[in-house]
């Protein structure tokens, strides 16, 4: 270790925070009394003593299947500070997926929130010896001796954690079916969080409102580790972030920082902001004039900013591609949004910029000390697969050396599987997933994500998926039928039949609209109704493999 270089491990960085910000607020449920960093430290130590009594040792895997709460981070730190490996499990994984992860990781202990115990009922394995409820660390089931959690206990062991030790194995839900266990080291995650703080300065006065699952690497690194580095406070919701829960929470917390996925802001724009401009003829006409649209968007932006508490300085958007109409609105609304690009395998952040440096349709440049290259770029477009190299790149896939060799080159480059290009200022532009790209019958590359972006701008469309069937492009479209019924409720005779007719008219209109906005080889052959919402990953990407 060079003299003066920071040690990139969780316990080392936590000690710094404790020394500088021990009496500051650390974690809280919205509307409740926050815990300080000092009280969090005492609980971490007591939990380590508890895990020692249950024979948890360095290198053991300990799973966390829980909704977001202050105890989530406390468990995560207790596990990783003693050299054990945290295995965060996404709350929306099915019972089968949860059991597969527990088997594959050979987890010896597990913390589970009371609302998710149904996912493990009936599960039995030789390796999983203890299951605890995360709310109070009480026994859920045990194959060994029983010992109660003592909040005043201290661990007997002294633990030394190295930068290259595995801190976490995160199983990706992905959109390609089979989950993979991504091994991330203390250095991978700590480095990434530190570089996130370079993009957006954060200090002990900042307030995070957490709305994404902590078991996803995006929220885990940037919503748990990054605020810990700064001594900032994170607030959690006791219920899912529906508008009825989120709106009062925003006014209560007045967050300065939020991490979100595109779907959140897209829903607000298409369900609340755009209808206000579209439903009245005069406003609709005004909104179609670019100069006046900018004025209207600026006014809507001020209202939106107040809705989010009025103190927001960073509204991060990642995990999927943002609709460009929505991004244009955010720019004209002067809303402090920032887009980042990353993957679980890169801990996650690869590229990003803060709100003052956002570039339309770009994720910004590579983060500090990370290399990005476009491998084998197309001579005309400059597009190719995005490769990444740096201290954020994973150690590999757990127990999957062949899969690891497929994505990690001998000289340390990670093949992302994403297609993109860099502009003259090294801003990265993502085109889509290599696996999703469709090759037309005449040899052109078709990016379904770009066609879907056009479809999703059309009225009554909630979400869409473009696939290829018998060499033709087909759009699967999920419509907001409630909104349609409300719009046409004035129809007097046989309303359901009339709405069906209107729906068919709308689909024909949608096909014409899309085909007039895309290039010749990206035109849609057929539009098919998707009657129920598409199944999605934790970052609200559609699980394409289920539909193609």
Residues in the chain: 548
Residue with tokens 């480059």: 413
**Average pLDDT score over residue span 429-451:** 82
Could you tell me which residue, 259 or 435, shows the higher pLDDT?
259
Q: Where are the domains of the chain?
A: 10-202, 438-546
- The superfamily (CATH) of domain 438-546 is ANL, C-terminal domain (3.30.300.30)
Per-residue pLDDT reduced to its tens digit, 315-345:
999 988 899 999 999 999 999 999 999 999 9
DSSP string, 217-263: HHHHIIIIIHHHHHT-EEEE-SS---HHHHHHHHHHH--SEEEE-HH
- Asked whether the predicted pLDDT for residue 188 surpasses 70, the reply is yes
User: Residue 170 pairs with which residues in a beta bridge?
Assistant: 182
Look over the chain and give the mean of its residue pLDDT values, rounded to a whole number: 92
DSSP string, 132-201: EETTT--EEEESS------TT---S------TTSEEEEEE---SSSS--EEEEEHHHHHHHHHHHHHHS-
Per-residue pLDDT reduced to its tens digit, 66-98:
999 999 999 999 999 999 999 999 998 888 889
Q: What is the DSSP letter of 124?
A: -
**Which residues neighbour 148 within 8 Å (Cβ) at sequence distance 6 or greater?**
138
**Average pLDDT score over residue span 175-199:** 88
Report the C-alpha gap between 428 and 218 in whole angstroms: 19
**What is the model's pLDDT at position 3?**
43
| Helix locations, 239-363, DSSP H | 243-253, 262-268, 274-278, 281-287, 290-307, 324-332
**What is the model's pLDDT at position 182?**
97
Report the C-alpha gap between 455 and 266 in whole angstroms: 13
- Asked whether the predicted pLDDT for residue 1 surpasses 50, the reply is no
Give which of 435, 439, 474, 466 is closest to 450, Cα–Cα: 466
Architecture of domain 10-202 in this structure: 3-Layer(aba) Sandwich (3.40)
Give which of 175, 166, 248, 253 is closest to 209, Cα–Cα: 253
Confidence of residue 492 (pLDDT cuts 50, 70, 90): low
Per-residue pLDDT reduced to its tens digit, 369-391:
999 999 999 998 899 999 999 99
Per-residue pLDDT reduced to its tens digit, 470-482:
888 999 999 988 8
**Average pLDDT score over residue span 179-197:** 95
Report the C-alpha gap between 189 and 344 in whole angstroms: 10
Share of the chain above pLDDT 70, in %: 95
- Asked whether the predicted pLDDT for residue 171 surpasses 80, the reply is yes
Report the C-alpha gap between 6 and 408 in whole angstroms: 27
Fold identical between 10-202 and 438-546? no
Within its chain, how far is the Cα of 409 from the centroid?
26
- Asked whether the predicted pLDDT for residue 2 surpasses 50, the reply is no
CB 519 within 8 A of CB 508: no
Q: Model's pTM, two decimal places? A: 0.89
Give which of 457, 510, 458 is closest to 323, Cα–Cα: 457
């Amino acid at each position: 270790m060079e003299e003066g270089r920071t040690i990139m491990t969780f316990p080392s960085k936590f000690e710094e925070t404790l020394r500088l910000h021990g009496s500051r607020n650390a974690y809280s449920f919205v509307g409740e009394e926050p815990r300080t960093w000092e009280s969090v430290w005492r609980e971490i130590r007591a939990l380590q003593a508890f895990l020692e009594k249950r024979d948890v040792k360095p290198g053991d895997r300990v799973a966390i299947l829980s909704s977001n709460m202050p105890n989530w981070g406390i468990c995560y730190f207790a596990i990783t500070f003693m050299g054990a490996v945290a295995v965060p499990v996404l709350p929306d994984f099915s019972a089968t997926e949860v059991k597969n992860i527990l088997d594959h990781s050979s987890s010896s202990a597990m913390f589970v929130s009371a609302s998710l115990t149904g996912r493990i009922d009936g599960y039995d394995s030789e390796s999983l010896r203890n299951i605890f409820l995360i709310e109070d660390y009480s026994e859920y089931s045990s194959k060994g001796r029983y010992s109660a959690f003592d909040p005043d206990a201290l661990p007997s062991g002294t633990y030394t954690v190295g930068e290259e030790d595995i801190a976490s194995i995160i199983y990706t839900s992905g959109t390609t079916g089979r989950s993979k266990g991504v091994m991330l080291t203390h250095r991978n995650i700590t480095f990434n969080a530190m570089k996130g703080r370079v993009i957006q300065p954060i200090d002990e006065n900042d307030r995070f409102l957490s709305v994404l699952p902590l078991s996803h690497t995006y929220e885990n690194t940037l919503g748990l580790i990054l605020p810990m580095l700064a001594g900032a406070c994170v607030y959690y919701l006791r219920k899912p972030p529906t508008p009825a829960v989120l709106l009062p929470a925003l006014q209560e917390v007045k967050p300065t920082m939020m991490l979100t996925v595109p779907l959140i802001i897209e829903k607000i724009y298409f369900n609340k902001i755009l209808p206000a401009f579209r439903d009245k003829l005069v406003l609709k006409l005004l909104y179609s004039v670019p100069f006046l649209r900018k004025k209207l968007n600026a006014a809507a932006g001020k209202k939106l900013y107040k809705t989010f508490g009025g103190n927001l300085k960073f509204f991060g958007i990642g995990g999927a591609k943002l609709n460009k109409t929505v991004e244009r609105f955010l720019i004209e609304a002067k809303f402090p949004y920032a887009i980042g690009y990353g993957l679980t395998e890169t801990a996650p952040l690869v590229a990003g910029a803060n709100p003052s440096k956002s570039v339309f349709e770009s994720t910004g440049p590579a983060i500090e000390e990370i290399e990005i290259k476009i491998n084998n770029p197309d001579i005309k477009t400059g597009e190719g697969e995005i490769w990444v190299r740096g201290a954020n790149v994973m150690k590999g896939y757990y127990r999957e050396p062949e899969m690891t060799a497929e994505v990690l080159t001998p000289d340390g480059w990670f093949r992302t599987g994403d297609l993109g290009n860099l502009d003259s200022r090294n801003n990265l532009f993502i085109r889509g997933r290599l696996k999703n790209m469709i090759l037309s019958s005449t040899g052109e590359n078709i990016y379904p994500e770009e066609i879907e972006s056009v479809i999703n701008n059309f009225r009554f469309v909630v979400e869409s998926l473009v696939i290829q069937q018998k060499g033709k492009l087909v759009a699967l479209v999920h419509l907001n039928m409630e909104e349609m019924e409300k719009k046409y409720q004035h129809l007097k005779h046989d309303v359901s039949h009339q709405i069906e007719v209107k729906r068919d008219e709308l689909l024909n209109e949608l096909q014409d609209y899309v085909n007039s906005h895309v290039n010749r080889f990206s035109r849609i052959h057929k539009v098919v109704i998707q009657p129920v919402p598409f199944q999605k990953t934790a970052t609200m990407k559609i699980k394409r493999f289920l539909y193609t």
